[in-house]
Amino acid sequence: MSKIFAAICLLLIFVPCQVLGENALPEGPGKTIVLKKCQACHGLDLVENERGSRADWAGILDEMVNNGLILNEKDKNLALEYLSTHLGADQKE
């Protein structure tokens, strides 16, 4: 019984955090791809706190692809545009 209670508690903590994380990023083309692909391996806070130029984000995406991220060219370009626009080096946190 205590294992079931613990599982329910974890769900009650995890699900609201997921929803809050999804709403933390600004709306725009590419947001869905960023949410889906980035959260597959790590927390969204890692993405939210990063700021970089278009070249910086391109390098990060290339590194993630080298680490196993599956991203077609169209989605990669859309994610790059989103990240460099909304989480660019000149964007305030």
For position 8, what pLDDT does the model report?
56
Q: Distance between CA 82 and CA 32 in Å, rounded? A: 10
Cα 21 to chain center, whole Å? Answer: 9
Side-chain-facing half-sphere of 69: CA atoms under 13 Å = 22
Kindly list the averaged pLDDT for each block of 10 residues, start to end, along the chain of length 93.
51 46 80 94 89 95 95 96 92 62
For position 89, what pLDDT does the model report?
86
> Helix 73-86 to helix 54-66 angle, to the nearest 10 degrees?
140
Sign of CA dihedral 56, 57, 62, 67: positive
- Its pTM stands at 0.72
Cα 89 to chain center, whole Å? Answer: 17
Report which residue type is found at 1: M
For position 67, what pLDDT does the model report?
94
Q: Both tokens of residue 73? A: 């060219």
